[in-house]
Chains A and B, each alone.
Chain A
Amino acid sequence: MRRRKKHFLFGVYDDFDKARDVVSELKVLDLKEMVVDGIELYSPIEHPEVEEILGEFHQPIQRFTFFGAITGACCAFLLVAAAAQAMFTVQPQGGKPVIPLPMDIVITYEGTIMFGVYSTIIAFLIYAGMPKRLKKYYTQKVSEDQIGVEVQVDPAKSDKARAVLEKCGALEIREVTQ
């Protein structure tokens, strides 16, 4: 099946407050005329308040961390226990426990952290949608000192969205269909 093409407008601003205004106005416009299909903000730094204007991001990375850590603990403990068990069959242990718990705790702890870290990284890649190719309208200015607002719009009504971007003081607007 052929993929439906998407139409994007990308406005660049010199101030985060201007970008915030654009998003608010675009949301109002969308309520009135159903123009906007999606909004994304591009910034050289993190703005925690972005969730207030774009809505909350569902990124349960900590669940990956938790289950990764549990898996790591189990795997590490099983490894040392199995190694001790295997040694027991070929070497007499002289009355020592086959699986020595206090010693195994150290390796289990390290395994917990190692797998916890790896699974957190995997979750990061999944929820940040990486790795990916750069978008056509991406400009290096948003990695320097400007804020980008990406709007996915209905091509027939893109003029209205464009007008909003311009009204809020866009330094540059790029329009791409891909």
Chain B
Amino acid sequence: MSDYSMKDIEWAKINRDVLASLESPRKEFWMVLSVCVLLVLCGAAAEAYQYNEGLGVALMNRPHFWQLYISNFVFWIGMSHSGTLLSAILLLTQADWRKPIYRFAEAMTLFSILTAAIFPVIHLGRVWNMYWVLPYPNERTIWPNFRSPLLWDAAAITTYATSSVLFLYIGMIPDLAICRDNATGWRKKLYTALSIGWMGRASEWMAFRKTYVLLACFLVPLAVSVHSIVASDFAMSIMPDWHITSFPPYFVAGALYSGCAAIITLFVLLRYVFKFEEYMTTEIMDKTAKLTFAIAMVWNYLNLGEYASIWYSNDMFEKEVLLEKFFGPYHWVVWGMLICALIAPFAMAFKKVRHNMWAMFWLSLVLQLGMWLERFQIVSPPLASNHEPWTWAVVWPGTVQLTITAASFGWFTMLFLIFCKVFPSVSMYEVKEMVFHRRKASSRTDMEDLSKVKDEMIKTEEGLS
């Protein structure tokens, strides 16, 4: 495959194609959106029921105070990682293939965080007391307990959410200006306000590039810290199977893994729905799949390393929980996770799979299912067989929890699709830059080839004479 593919696309065509995606998606877009809205409505009804009846209807009782809501919280926080983190890393390493796909990946981050943020609130039961996590002066001088990892979570997620929004927004300003120049009606007003007078002046570009790189430098360690802190929610406790030193890197690798899988799913979806075949190419899918495979192998290593360290530590409680996970009532969750997240990614070692969009789409869904099961097997099985045998109980999520879980997927997809309908999901200026540099590199190579041929001809002539 040529390193210089996409070099022949006209800049004006890039604008036209991306702006067209804001106007006329395929009819499947509206079908998917309708299903999502329906799911969200079902979730709202389930939450209203739980709000009125109490958390008992969600079957959350001793010892299962943390169950599906917290698994979902960890899953969605994990999902949010790849977008911004990968975008920032690839920006700093100047990997130009990120350009057509980073915008929707960053948007994915934002909506994953918004989805994740719902679960601690729902899980709280008394949702009206959520504001107690804020450190505000009050008459009893009671402050939030900053010693608790749960509060670190609140601080880290707030920082990550606001920084990701700003990173997404700053990166979008030149494109918002393009939209402003081509829009009418309410869209014109919206884009004019959001593009804050961007005109593409040299001084603007210079300040923009410096800012963007500085933000990327901040976001890489921030993303790592956020999921490490989420891991600390578990690792700082003394529960068997949670109190593990390698939990933070294990969580970060898992987050990157599930996020990459989500990027692949949305890649194929957007490519089809918005007709982006020319920009979201097989070459880019190939690179994304290779990256996902590499991250999957890191996650595999950390996962197996965790089992090994528990086994060789010979700690009675830890070993008991580990055996319960593999052979107890939750065994199918653990085996399901191993099949979906540990074995399935090996399919990406094959070029034929990496180059088949729909194979990658279904494979990415399998990987995400595996990672969702992984979150569930982290949270529930250790609670079912903890240090206190008289509290042992196997509890499966009920209808309310499952409905709200399904609604979270609808909520995420709904927000994402609305974003793609209002804002350009492919970065127009970055694709232009990519085309510009590839064209330049290609012509340089052609010139070098020509001069080589010329040199050889001269040598041959000299030899003949």
Q: Enumerate 27 A-B pairs (CB-CB under 8 Å) in ascending A order.
A: A46-B208, A50-B205, A50-B206, A83-B135, A83-B143, A106-B155, A106-B225, A107-B146, A107-B151, A109-B225, A111-B155, A113-B218, A114-B159, A116-B218, A124-B208, A127-B207, A130-B196, A130-B197, A134-B197, A134-B199, A138-B199, A140-B182, A142-B199, A143-B177, A144-B12, A145-B15, A145-B432
Residues of B within 8 A of A50 (CB): 202, 205-206
Q: Is B203 an interface residue (CB 8 A)?
A: yes
Q: In the complex the two chains form, is B207's CB within 8 Å of A131's CB? A: no
Q: What residues of chain B have their CB less than 8 Å away from a CB belonging to chain A?
A: 10-12, 15, 135, 140-147, 151-152, 155-156, 158-159, 162-163, 166, 170, 174, 177-178, 181-182, 196-211, 214-215, 218, 221-222, 225, 229, 429, 432-433, 436
9-residue interface stretch from A1-9, A28-36, A51-59, A162-170: A51-59
Cα distance, A144 to B11, chains bound together (Å): 7
Cα distance, A136 to B156, chains bound together (Å): 44
The interface residues of chain B, by DSSP majority, are classed as helix
Q: In the complex the two chains form, is A44's CB within 8 Å of B429's CB? A: yes
Q: Is A110 an interface residue (CB 8 A)?
A: yes
- Shortest beta-carbon distance from B191 to chain A in Å: 11
What is the size, in residues, of chain A's interface with B at 8 Å between Cβ atoms? 60
Residues of B within 8 A of A40 (CB): 201-203
Closest to A57 in B: B206
Q: What residues of chain A have their CB less than 8 Å away from a CB belonging to chain B?
A: 40-48, 50-51, 54, 57, 59, 61-62, 65, 79-80, 83-84, 86-87, 89-90, 100, 103-104, 106-107, 109-111, 113-114, 116-118, 120-121, 123-125, 127-135, 138, 140, 142-145, 148, 150
Q: In the complex the two chains form, is A89's CB within 8 Å of B141's CB? A: yes
With most chain A CB atoms within 10 A of its CB, the pick from B146, B221, B432 is: B146
Closest to A50 in B: B202
- Shortest beta-carbon distance from A16 to chain B in Å: 9
Cα distance, A45 to B162, chains bound together (Å): 27
Cα distance, A145 to B13, chains bound together (Å): 10
Contact of B206 (CB < 8 Å), options: A59, A83, A116: A59
Q: In the complex the two chains form, is A129's CB within 8 Å of B203's CB? A: yes
Q: In the complex the two chains form, is A144's CB within 8 Å of B178's CB? A: yes
Q: In the complex the two chains form, is B211's CB within 8 Å of A113's CB? A: no
Q: Which 3 A-B pairs have the closest CB atoms?
A: A140-B181, A131-B196, A145-B11
Cα distance, A127 to B204, chains bound together (Å): 8
Closest to A131 in B: B196
Contact of B205 (CB < 8 Å), options: A43, A86, A89, A100: A43
Q: In the complex the two chains form, is B141's CB within 8 Å of A86's CB? A: yes
Q: A106-B156, A107-B152, A116-B218 are in contact. List 20 more A-B contacts (CB 8 A).
A: A43-B205, A47-B202, A50-B206, A57-B203, A62-B210, A90-B141, A103-B152, A111-B159, A113-B221, A113-B225, A120-B218, A121-B211, A123-B207, A127-B206, A133-B197, A140-B182, A142-B200, A143-B15, A143-B181, A145-B12
